[in-house]
Amino acid sequence: MSSSALKRESPSRAPDAGPAGRLHSLTGLRWIAALAVFLSHVGTLLPLPDAKPVLSLGSSGVTFFFVLSGFVLTWTYQDGDRVGPFYGRRFARVWPMLLVAVLIPLFLQLPDAQSGQSRSLTLMALSAVLMYQAWVPGYILGSTNPVTWSLACEAFFYAIFPFVARLLARRSPRWLGCAAVTLVLAGWGIKVWLWEAYPLQLPPSFTGVDGMIFGMYSPIARVWEFLLGVVAATALSKGWRLPLSATSATALLAAGFFVLWVLRFETWRLVSLYDALPQVTAPLYALVVVAVAQRDLSGRTSWLRAKPMVALGEWSYAFYLLHFTVLFEISSAVFDRKSIMEYYMRPAEASWANAGWAALALVISITACGLMYQFFERPAERWLRSRIGRRDVRVPAPAPRPGAPGEARAEQDAAPVNEVRQA
């Protein structure tokens, strides 16, 4: 397979994909990752007895989104794509929903803000809307909607992607394999250096650790996860195949989670700021994404491609952005707390009664994100894409094979529709 296969309009255009080769399973996986992030925040805002070590593993869903973002952007990138329209499509995809997810909690929290706190909350909200929140350590953990820091990382990833994709398209699979190993080692190098520079103190302090926060949440610290997805998709487009099934790759991921759970009382696992969860899970997530993509390309069936899973996956971006606000509003009513930082400094009491509140938050979040996707997110994205994200390139339709005069046209008509979209 030539390197030009890297750039394509839709996953269904892969040479070995066939008409059934669209990567719907990756959309289904997005919902599982978003739900995992939801559960990790349940462990903080509505804690259940003895469940936090398991629920906290769900925060690695953000790492999954970074890896998947790099993979899908690379897989759908097209030969001749111009940088300007690419940025326009990314803006249309993420910004309208981000604006809503920032303004709602800001308006809800301003009435309860203490004297002088309103200005800080407004500045934090502004940093999220302008997508530079993750570059300012003090704006990350204390934000009105803490999950929005990851969108600042994505903005940086989008900025560098067109140039990285073109560079990697000229590399061999062997070179890409070495690059993948180097990226994983770089991720561990960052974490080990932070452990040495900022020794853990118990109880944890959130003052004087701006460097640690920056090293955990900043785009510079997390870009290796995104690039790992880019490298994986590039290698796959060049004909490399992972010698693992989706089941085997998932089993490896489960084994990684089990090891992390066994080590839950180790010092580096006690505080999320010091946890090496991204370093452990990023390469495992990359294996899962590639294995699931290969299964879709082969045309095999998967429960991840079922219509309910694909629909939930399409809603997952709104769910990711809105769920924390829903959880926080319910939790603040239950525990009579007005500040997000209170939950980090003074953990809430764990109770099985919180399971009912968490279930209520899940139902409200799913309902809200479904409505937002249908009536705001998708229409706004289409409107913006038609104005600032039009593609000028054209991919010629394959010549029809003898005996199948309608097949090429059917595949051509299907190609632009339902592009796999990442959070």
Q: What is the pLDDT of residues 199-218, one digit of tens each?
A: 877 766 666 678 888 999 99
CA distance 15 to 297: 9
Note whether 57 and 260 are within 8 A (CB): yes
Question: What are the helix (H) ranges across 110-130?
Answer: 117-129
Note whether 323 and 41 are within 8 A (CB): yes
Length of the chain counted residue by residue: 423
Burial letters for 125-139: b for 16+ Cβ neighbours within 10 Å, e otherwise? bebbbebebbbbbeb
Residue of 70, 222, 217 whose CA lies nearest to 135? 217
Report the amino acid identity of residue 364. I
Q: Percentages helix, strand, coil for the chain, rounded to the nearest 5? A: 70, 0, 30
Residue of 155, 153, 200, 141 whose CA lies nearest to 344? 141
Q: How far is CA 181 from CA 67, 240, 249, 337, in A?
A: 14, 16, 17, 45
Residue of 190, 282, 173 whose CA lies nearest to 227? 282
Torsion angles phi and psi, residue 300, rounded to 5: -75, 155
Please tell me the predicted confidence (pLDDT) of residue 210.
83
Please tell me the predicted confidence (pLDDT) of residue 77.
87
Report the amino acid identity of residue 179. A
Q: What torsion do the CA atoms of 60, 65, 71, 73 make, to the nearest 10 degrees?
A: -160
Residue of 228, 282, 293 whose CA lies nearest to 63? 282
Q: What is the pLDDT of residues 164-206, one digit of tens each?
A: 999 999 999 999 999 999 999 999 999 999 998 888 777 666 6
Please tell me the predicted confidence (pLDDT) of residue 391.
74
Residues of the chain short of pLDDT 70, as ranges, are 1-21, 203-208, 392-423
Quick one: tokens of 78?
């097209």
Note whether 287 and 235 are within 8 A (CB): no
Please tell me the predicted confidence (pLDDT) of residue 334.
92
CA distance 283 to 181: 9
Residue of 421, 386, 392, 416 whose CA lies nearest to 83? 392
Note whether 120 and 189 are within 8 A (CB): no
